[in-house]
Amino acid sequence: MAVADYKTYLAENVLNERRTVTYRSLGRALRVHVTLAKQMLYDFHHSENNKKPNSVNATYIVTGMQKAPDSTSATNGAGDSFDSNGIPQSSPYISSSMPNQDTAEDDIAISSVLLVREEDLEDAKSTFQYIASIHVYSLQAAVLQDLNVLTDVNVEMMANHAQEDPLEHGKTWGMIQGKNVRRRTGGRPPVPAPTPAPATSTTTIQAKRPIKMEEKPEPKAETEEEAAKPKPEQKSKPEPAVKRDDTPASSKPTEKTAPPKQKGSIFSSFAKAKPKQKKEESATPTTPAVESATPSGAEDAVFLGDASDEDEEQELFPDSGKSEPSGTRETRKEREEKLKKMMEDDGMFYFYYEDEEMPDAAPSPEEESKPIDEPPPKQPEPKEEVTVRGGRRRGRRQIMKKKTVKDDEGYLVTVEEPSWESFSEDEPAPPPKKKPTVSAAGKAKPAAKPGQGNIMSFFSKK
Amino acid sequence: MTGSNTNEFLRPPSEQEFDPVCRESSHYNPLDTFRLPSGQDRHYKQQYGDMYFLRLAKLKPAVEEIAVEAWEGFSIAGEHARRVERVLDVRQGELCWVAGTIYMDMPLKPNILDDLTKENYTLAPPPRPTYQDPSHPELTQIMLEDESGRLRLTGSLLRSAQLCTGAIIAVLGTENSDGDFEVIDIKVPDLARQPRRWERDGVDAQKEPSKGKIAFVSGLGITGTSSDTLALELLTDYLLGYTGSTSAGSSGDAPPDASAITRLVIAGNSVGASMTVDANADNGAAKKKSGPKKYGYDASAYNASPITRLDSFLAEILPTIPITLMAGQSDPANFSLPQQGIHRAMFPQARAYCAPPPAGEEKQEPGWFDSVTNPWEGDVEGWRLWGSSGQNVDDALRYLNLADDQGNVGDGDGDMEARIRVMEAMLRWRCGVPTAPDTIWSYPFQTHDPFVMQSCPHIFFAGNQPRFKTAVIEGDSPLRLNGADTEMTGTDDNNTSGPHVRLLSIPKFNETGELVLVDTETLEVEVVKFGAFAGQQEKQ
């Protein structure tokens, strides 16, 4: 039993580190009953102050019944009787009732639970008519200016002991046991929280109570991960689908089954902008290789909901639309192949991607499949050719120009088309959105940052 | 006794063994009265007028029954009071009575037609303390309405009567030469039938009397800053059983043993000030400039800490006590009544204790943590509870002339008394939210009006009131066929006496620190107050 250690613990925390220790945090730290913890605090307080007066300061909880004439309790409705205070019986049709009010008012017992500083203890006691109990609430090295800091202690304690299941340990702490506590079991495949610091869940609990895993940080972290690496996730999708086929898909709670489609579209908006380029630029061998290389099983569980074959296929090319007919998809694959070939010898291939020279069997599948709520598709970044001659930087760069023309039917059509523009040093170079292709392989992740930031802040706590 | 309890904690650690304390189990059987159809079945295009017709159709027979009993054979100067079916059939100079819906036209009442003509749209008008204009009391008109038309009511009786839009009443009187109806007497539907205790749970649920208590709290007002949570911490400790003496022998003056509390009902406004607005006002400048809006939503304006703090509070006490959480005005739920429960997705930790999401049509067992509607109706420990987060009381009060005596509104005992009276009036009107849909936003019900009370509750509570107050009201005893007086003093209270209703006005916890406990056997009320002693530090 840790009882013997409590003096060391308290001396270390209260005297050396000048922390505030409450009976609950002590009880949690030493795994003892709260009553015992209260006694330990008292004992420590007593003995330390005997050694050296005022070295330790305490706060107390006083429970009991406060004296009635106190103005606060008089205004609490216990004071005046109901009918006799001069307010006229306002509604005649109601006057038949309310016979019991006087008696009902009188026997309202108001008991109090007060938190009191050590130096106020006697004052506080004198306001009580009857004191049921007094115990030490916390110990600290100096007088607390603001009692509210005690809540921070408890918040911290809760965070440190978050992994302890209150249902199992409650008895040790002296918590009142609920007989019929029900927690959701099953229904949801265990989603291991991608564990930001304190929420490390022990595996035993995981196994026993999958639902326990819905720790607070989960949704946030989940999305964080999603945003951070949209590509690997989508690629690795087929793999966990097989792995987890024992979890009944129908048992997934509704709140989770709803999003997958939208999530897909969110990804595709990221994926369209950055990860595709990553794939193309870095000329990663083939998609299956990436697939097996990224076993990100944890967050996959979230998407798995109704991952049908169709979905998987789509996810291989996240920029393709959901409603895209399979024929187009084939041509798109061909196109991708050609692109990859081109990519080998030409660093600038990706401009052609949107150019007219492309074998354009399917008329711009991106456009037809674009979800409405997506941000406008990112234009390929302006490209520039820079020549440095005699210390002067000159060159031309490709920019996207807006052109408005009237078409055959008389509508105004605005098209953006790439055009070349020359510039020299005195013109400020446009902010380099794109780093040279050499670093492209390592770049894809950092490039995804802005997206990540946005989604994160959506869920972030302040 | 005092000495031993006091010393229990103020002594060196002992080798004492601590027996686990168990909480009484809770019998809980909520009703789905206010649950709206979900998803596509929820329509907002209907007209609100139907609600009034439904309400009138439901309550007119009840009030007429009472009126017949009271006024049949009533005569003034030889003229018998005649029953008139429709308000338009009232003839001038003829003593008669008629039933209908009250409509009050008040100078400061928000009026949708005015807003339309002025092209002045506001999403939620700022709440007014009252709709009366104290300087022009004559501008307030009270009318009686049914499907045929309206009749303006007048008479000295109305000045003292508490009425508000939406109440169904019967009035006795005559139409005067101005075309107004001079009211002599008013009847209301009065209390509905009160179910017996355990009625819905079957006989087998009726066990030996247990010493249980139901705890009510409202207006936790969690803002996520540390300044508002000290009382909440003390409340948590108390509910978990850490506060006070765990040993037996706590006398009546001590805070009741927390293990007797079988259920915590949180009546709205658990989350404090609006989560988005505050973030903008307070720390908007301090925060770094947010990124571009994604999907038209500025994520940095959202302050999640109130709801996460509420979540951890719930998750902390849920292992020991079942909770019924009602939505409230400031909570993240829909605004119009009936507010649907706060979605469990808001509570990543506490939702582990929720009931599993509904699968199919079958009725499922309520969860250990039940996020319910506002208003809400249900059975706890066999008693029927009907409660709201307080909007109904607050709004009905705006119809009443409270500023009579001192000219100041909304303080002192008079205000609290008026609140209790309003609550009583609602029970007697058999309508929990009479002013919806007029001045409280409401779902446009088409087939039924759930605000009409089908049965009279045992405990009628309203959350987020300025102070705690309670009262017991009694209904008339039901008719007895044998009518003998000796029967009336019979032993079986449940069946022969009229309904008793415990009214509770539950204070805002973040202002008062008060938790209200109701005994499950006697319906006696206790209050436990949490707070810090204002000592020398605060006085400095």
Examine the pLDDT at B12 and tell me if it is beyond 80.
no
Examine the pLDDT at A344 and tell me if it is beyond 80.
no
For residues A137 and A219, membership in a common domain is answered with no
Q: Which residue has the higher pLDDT, A278 or B16?
A: B16
Inform me whether the C-beta atom of residue A215 falls under 8 Å from chain B C-beta atoms. yes
Mean pLDDT of the residues in chain B: 76
For residues A359 and A221, membership in a common domain is answered with yes
List C-alpha distances in Å: A21 to A49, A139, A258, B446, B494. Answer: 16, 5, 45, 58, 52
- Is residue B153 within 8 A of residue B167, CB to CB? The reply is no
Q: Span A96-108, mean pLDDT? A: 46
ipTM: 0.75
Q: What is the pLDDT at residue B497?
A: 62
Tell me the per-residue pLDDT of A26-48, one tens digit each, with 9 for 90 and over: 888 888 888 888 888 888 888 88
Cis peptide before B437 (omega within 30 of 0): yes
Q: What is the pLDDT at residue A148?
A: 76
H helices of A31-146, in order, are 34-51, 71-73, 101-106, 121-126
Look at A174 and B18 and tell me if their CB atoms are within 8 Å: yes
Q: What is the pLDDT at residue B130?
A: 75
Last residue of a domain, one of A346, A375, A404: A375
Inform me whether the C-beta atom of residue A197 falls under 8 Å from chain B C-beta atoms. no
For residues A217 and A164, membership in a common domain is answered with no
Size of the A and B interface in Cβ pairs below 8 Å: 360
Q: What is the pLDDT at residue B253?
A: 54
pLDDT confidence band for A343 (50 / 70 / 90): low
Q: Which amino acid is at A197?
A: A
For residues A33 and A8, membership in a common domain is answered with yes
Strand segments, DSSP code E, in A104-226 are: 109-117, 128-140
Three-class SS state of A35: helix
Q: What is the pLDDT at residue A356?
A: 44
Task: Give the domain range for residue A328.
Answer: 188-375
Helix, strand, coil percentages for chain A (3-state, nearest 5)? 50, 15, 35
Look at A180 and B536 and tell me if their CB atoms are within 8 Å: no
Contacts of A98 in chain B (CB under 8 A): 424, 471-474
Inform me whether the C-beta atom of residue A442 falls under 8 Å from chain B C-beta atoms. no
For A396, the enclosing helix (H) or strand (E) is strand A392-406
Look at B344 and A255 and tell me if their CB atoms are within 8 Å: yes
Q: Span A378-407, mean pLDDT? A: 64
**Closest residue to A77, CB basis, from B160, B469, B475:** B469
Complete DSSP assignment for B247-263: SS---TTSPPPGGGEEE
Examine the pLDDT at A425 and tell me if it is beyond 70.
no
Interface test with B, best of A97, A134, A136 (most B CBs within 10 A): A97
Helices (H) and strands (E) in chain A, counts: 23, 7
Q: Kindly give, in sequence order, each residue whose CB lies less than 8 Å from that of residue B138, ignoring residues fewer than 6 positions away.
A: none
- The 8 Å CB, 24+ separation contacts for A252-255 are A252/A187, A252/A188, A252/A189, A252/A305, A253/A187, A253/A188, A253/B356, A253/B357, A254/B357, A255/B343, A255/B344, A255/B345, A255/B357
Examine the pLDDT at A421 and tell me if it is beyond 80.
no
| CA separation for the pair B245, B256 (Å, rounded) | 10
| CA separation for the pair A215, A223 (Å, rounded) | 14
| CA separation for the pair B326, A390 (Å, rounded) | 76
Look at B536 and A94 and tell me if their CB atoms are within 8 Å: no
For residues A161 and A197, membership in a common domain is answered with no
**Would you say residue A44 lies in a domain?**
yes
Interface test with B, best of A101, A113, A153 (most B CBs within 10 A): A113
- Is residue B440 within 8 A of residue B131, CB to CB? The reply is no
Q: Span A305-317, mean pLDDT? A: 40
Task: Extract the tokens encoding B485.
Answer: 């007086």
pLDDT confidence band for A68 (50 / 70 / 90): low
Examine the pLDDT at A206 and tell me if it is beyond 50.
no
* Percentage above 70 pLDDT, chain A: 37
pLDDT confidence band for A444 (50 / 70 / 90): very low
What's the pTM? 0.65
- Is residue B175 within 8 A of residue B93, CB to CB? The reply is yes
For residues A341 and A297, membership in a common domain is answered with yes
Contacts of A149 in chain B (CB under 8 A): 226
Task: Classify residue B204 by its DSSP letter.
Answer: G
Last residue of a domain, one of A134, A150, A173: A173
How large is the C-alpha radius of gyration of chain A?
Answer: 34
pLDDT confidence band for B213 (50 / 70 / 90): confident
Q: Span B501-530, mean pLDDT? A: 88
Helix, strand, coil percentages for chain B (3-state, nearest 5)? 25, 25, 50
Tell me the per-residue pLDDT of B244-290, one tens digit each, with 9 for 90 and over: 654 444 445 566 777 788 889 998 888 876 544 443 444 434 344 44
For residues A151 and A271, membership in a common domain is answered with no
List C-alpha distances in Å: A461 to A5, A214, B308, B315. Answer: 37, 17, 8, 18
Which CATH number fits the domain that encloses residue A76?
A: 3.90.1030.20
Q: Which residue is it, tokens 């307030």? A: B140
Tell me which of A27-31, A50-54, A248-252 is least confident.
A248-252
* Percentage above 70 pLDDT, chain B: 75
Question: Where do the domains of chain B lie?
Answer: 49-187
Helix axes A34-51, B2-9, angle to 10 degrees: 80
pLDDT confidence band for A385 (50 / 70 / 90): low
Q: What is the pLDDT at residue B216?
A: 92
Look at A184 and B354 and tell me if their CB atoms are within 8 Å: yes
CA distance B159 to chain A (A): 9
Three-class SS state of B271: strand
For residues A250 and A337, membership in a common domain is answered with yes
| CA separation for the pair B529, A362 (Å, rounded) | 72
Q: What is the pLDDT at residue A217?
A: 40
**Would you say residue A458 lies in a domain?**
no
| CA separation for the pair B528, B540 (Å, rounded) | 28
Contacts of A171 in chain B (CB under 8 A): 20
Cis peptide before B129 (omega within 30 of 0): no
Tell me the per-residue pLDDT of B68-116, one tens digit each, with 9 for 90 and over: 888 887 777 777 888 888 888 888 888 888 889 988 888 777 776 766 6
Q: Span B385-390, mean pLDDT? A: 90
For residues A149 and A271, membership in a common domain is answered with no
Longest CA pairwise span in chain B (Å): 89
**Closest residue to A91, CB basis, from B162, B302, B476:** B162
| CA separation for the pair A445, A228 (Å, rounded) | 7
Q: Which amino acid is at B507?
A: P
Nearest residue to B365 (alpha-carbon basis) of B29, B18, B20, B13 = B29
Complete DSSP assignment for A276-298: HHHHHHHT-S-HHHHHHH---HH
Three-class SS state of B372: strand
First to last CA, chain A: 40
Tell me the per-residue pLDDT of B305-360, one tens digit each, with 9 for 90 and over: 788 888 888 888 888 888 899 988 888 888 888 888 888 888 888 888 887 766 65
For residues A27 and A157, membership in a common domain is answered with yes
Look at B160 and A92 and tell me if their CB atoms are within 8 Å: yes
Specify the CATH number of the domain B49-187: 2.40.50.430
For residues A130 and A259, membership in a common domain is answered with no
| CA separation for the pair B515, B508 (Å, rounded) | 9
| CA separation for the pair B246, B14 (Å, rounded) | 15
Last residue of a domain, one of A343, A375, A407: A375
**Would you say residue A416 lies in a domain?**
no
Return the top range by mean pLDDT from A23-32, B48-57, B356-365: B48-57
Inform me whether the C-beta atom of residue A199 falls under 8 Å from chain B C-beta atoms. no
pLDDT confidence band for A200 (50 / 70 / 90): very low
Q: Which residue has the higher pLDDT, A391 or A292?
A: A391
**Would you say residue A231 lies in a domain?**
yes
Examine the pLDDT at B365 and tell me if it is beyond 70.
yes
For residues A56 and A142, membership in a common domain is answered with yes
Helices (H) and strands (E) in chain B, counts: 13, 20
User: 3-state SS of B72-106?
Assistant: CCCEECCEECEECCCHHHCCECCCEEEEEEEEEEC
- Is residue A132 within 8 A of residue B250, CB to CB? The reply is yes
Q: What is the pLDDT at residue B244?
A: 63
Inform me whether the C-beta atom of residue A6 falls under 8 Å from chain B C-beta atoms. yes
Tell me the per-residue pLDDT of B453-463, one tens digit each, with 9 for 90 and over: 888 899 999 98
| CA separation for the pair B144, A428 (Å, rounded) | 77
| CA separation for the pair B273, B224 (Å, rounded) | 10
Tell me the per-residue pLDDT of B154-175, one tens digit each, with 9 for 90 and over: 888 887 777 888 888 888 888 8
Q: Which residue is it, tokens 């689908």? A: A241
Interface test with A, best of B227, B262, B278, B294 (most A CBs within 10 A): B294
**Would you say residue A247 lies in a domain?**
yes
Examine the pLDDT at A266 and tell me if it is beyond 60.
no
Q: Span A157-186, mean pLDDT? A: 72
User: 3-state SS of B397-437?
Assistant: HCCCCCCCCCCCCCCHHHHHHHHHHHHHHHHHHCECCCCCC
CA distance A136 to chain B (A): 8
Q: Span B126-130, mean pLDDT? A: 69
Q: Which amino acid is at A242?
A: V
Give the total number of structural domains in chain A.
Answer: 2
Examine the pLDDT at A184 and tell me if it is beyond 50.
yes
Q: Which residue is it, tokens 């009993």? A: B69
Q: What is the pLDDT at residue B461?
A: 92
For A315, the enclosing helix (H) or strand (E) is helix A309-316
Tell me which of A48-57, A437-446, B180-189 is least confident.
A437-446
Q: Which amino acid is at B193?
A: R
Examine the pLDDT at A190 and tell me if it is beyond 80.
no
Examine the pLDDT at B484 and tell me if it is beyond 70.
no
- Is residue B99 within 8 A of residue B60, CB to CB? The reply is yes
